[in-house]
Structure 1
Amino acid sequence: MTAVDGVDEAVRDPWLPDLLLRTERDALVPLLRRTPEASYGLRTACPGWTVRDVLAHCAAALVRIVEGRLEEGVFLPAANAADVAERADWPVGRIVDELERGLSEAGAAIAAGDGTLDAVALGEWIHAGDVRDAWGEPGAYGGAGLALALPLLHTASRKRGTPRLVAGLDGHAGPLVLGNEEAGRPAARFEGDATTLIRLYSGRPLVATRYELAGASEQELLIYR
């Protein structure tokens, strides 16, 4: 068995997504409420989406989970675009209110499931990083949620079929093992900080980062395609 910070990969903590979402709520919502509305029109790392669009998508996805509206294809690009379009005329405050509700309540619904929706919590946290990045906030893909996000990244990297990678992270006592073993292929290796690792796996901009990657391409590591 491989481990992430001492946690056996076969043991799912059903409340980890809830803890990540609530941690992000406490950090992000105050920032959203004090930021001028004009800043919501800034572009993000998500092609074609502004900060407002990203938040509308995040709020809609979480409230769908809360309300059990998870029909087939619900999180595919067309459905995501439809959710954003539905909220095009909403005041920013209403979007933030819906997002706060989702961050507060979706974790319980995720915990009650079979783990399929755990990756949604990781995606929500990454999108919060997109917002911070667009606004020039420090620690865009870090902060209090980072230690909670890394075990979910471990799980997502396996479910999405990425190759085995051993990550030596700055400031972490031991390596983080991600992805899946492939016959005849040695594990890839990463050296750098954890926020850069998140950017790498989520396809976020790597400009001005510093890392070493050997044995795999950046494209192979993407968990969102």
Structure 2
Amino acid sequence: MTSADVHGEVRDPELPGRLLVVERDQLIPWLRGRTDADFATPTDACPGWTVRDVLAHCSSALMRAVEGRFEEGVFSPESNDRDIAERADWTNAQVVDELERGMTEAGPVIAKAGGALDGLALGEWVHAGDVREALGAPGAYAGVGLPYALDLLARITRERGHVPLHADLDDVDEPLRFGDASGERTPGRYIGDAPTLVRLYAGRPVDAAGFELAGVQVGELNIFG
């Protein structure tokens, strides 16, 4: 990973696919060992959705990308609920099978989309963290995919003109820059660990005592809100 990649200044078209494959290799075997009760567990990050619902949403979103199905209103709350309902009769194993296929096949499609679908890969990785969190597993919003996710997050926030932020991360060797610093606004500053920063950008619950944030409001960071 180059310095330019780390700071989000260059698009690596293969990065989203690498993130998905790295996460696939960790997540899928773990999911295959879970019980039916685990799949029925509610998630705090996605109110009203169980672990299975989150996974069904993830698998359907990836397969839409693989199959090029982007009709009007796709990825709206209503569309997401329909995708989940369409899989209501599937076994949990079938949902995991589709998720594995999507995480395997979506990378090349995302690479060719010129950046338009890069956020899908990041969202899938965040949802994997949501599932781990719901089941009390260690490594939610962390793990081997974290460096790739941070790289992708830096570039996505820059390209979307997001509020500039300078992050001093406890668990990353060098400071990282997020958002668009080309304007007049002075970059905010974050001090804390990387998983907490991911939670902030994803609009997930955080421990307010576990980080420092100056020059920017928590709500301004959310890229999915």
TM-score (normalised: structure 1): 0.94
Q: Deviations over 1:70-93 (max 9, x none)?
A: 223212221111101111121111
* CA 214–17 in structure 1, closer or farther in 2 if over 3 Å, else same: same
Query: What's the counterpart of residue 154 of structure 1?
Result: 154
Distance in structure 1 (CA, Å) of the matches to 2:82 and 2:220: 29
Two-structure CA RMSD over aligned residues (Å): 1.7
SS at match of 1:213: strand
* CA 43–11 in structure 1, closer or farther in 2 if over 3 Å, else same: same
Say if 1:163 and 1:221, in contact at 8 Å, map to a contact too.
yes
Distance in structure 2 (CA, Å) of the matches to 1:210 and 1:33: 33
Q: Deviations over 1:140-167 (max 9, x none)?
A: 1100000000011112222444211000
Distance in structure 2 (CA, Å) of the matches to 1:19 and 1:118: 11
Name the amino acid aligned to 1:31. W
Distance in structure 1 (CA, Å) of the matches to 2:94 and 2:183: 51
SS at match of 1:140: coil
Distance in structure 1 (CA, Å) of the matches to 2:4 and 2:11: 13
Name the amino acid aligned to 1:211. F
Query: What's the counterpart of residue 48 of structure 1?
Result: 48
Query: What's the counterpart of residue 12 of structure 1?
Result: 11
Percentage of matched positions with identical amino acids? 55
Q: Using the TM superposition, give the Cα deviation of residue 188 of structure 1 relative to its aligned residue in structure 2, in angstroms.
A: 0.3
Count of aligned residue pairs for this structure pair = 223
Q: Deviations over 1:42-94 (max 9, x none)?
A: 11111211100000000000011111112232122211111011111211111
Gaps of 5+ in 2: none
Query: What's the counterpart of residue 163 of structure 2?
Result: 163
Distance in structure 1 (CA, Å) of the matches to 2:195 and 2:102: 24
Query: What's the counterpart of residue 197 of structure 1?
Result: 197
Q: Using the TM superposition, give the Cα deviation of residue 182 of structure 1 relative to its aligned residue in structure 2, in angstroms.
A: 6.9
Following TM superposition, the consecutive aligned residue runs of length 4 or more in structure 1 with deviations greater than 4 angstroms are none
Q: Using the TM superposition, give the Cα deviation of residue 184 of structure 1 relative to its aligned residue in structure 2, in angstroms.
A: 4.1
Query: What's the counterpart of residue 37 of structure 1?
Result: 36
- 1:11-160 to structure 2, matched below 5 A, reads 11-44=10-43, 45-160=45-160
Q: Using the TM superposition, give the Cα deviation of residue 38 of structure 1 relative to its aligned residue in structure 2, in angstroms.
A: 0.8
* CA 116–46 in structure 1, closer or farther in 2 if over 3 Å, else same: same
- 1:172-211 to structure 2, matched below 5 A, reads 172-181=172-181, 183-207=183-207, 210-211=210-211
Query: What's the counterpart of residue 216 of structure 1?
Result: 216
Name the amino acid aligned to 1:108. P
Name the amino acid aligned to 2:76. L
* CA 66–177 in structure 1, closer or farther in 2 if over 3 Å, else same: same
Distance in structure 1 (CA, Å) of the matches to 2:223 and 2:208: 22
Higher mean alpha-carbon deviation, 212-221 vs 148-157, is at: 148-157
SS at match of 2:174: coil
Distance in structure 1 (CA, Å) of the matches to 2:193 and 2:159: 23
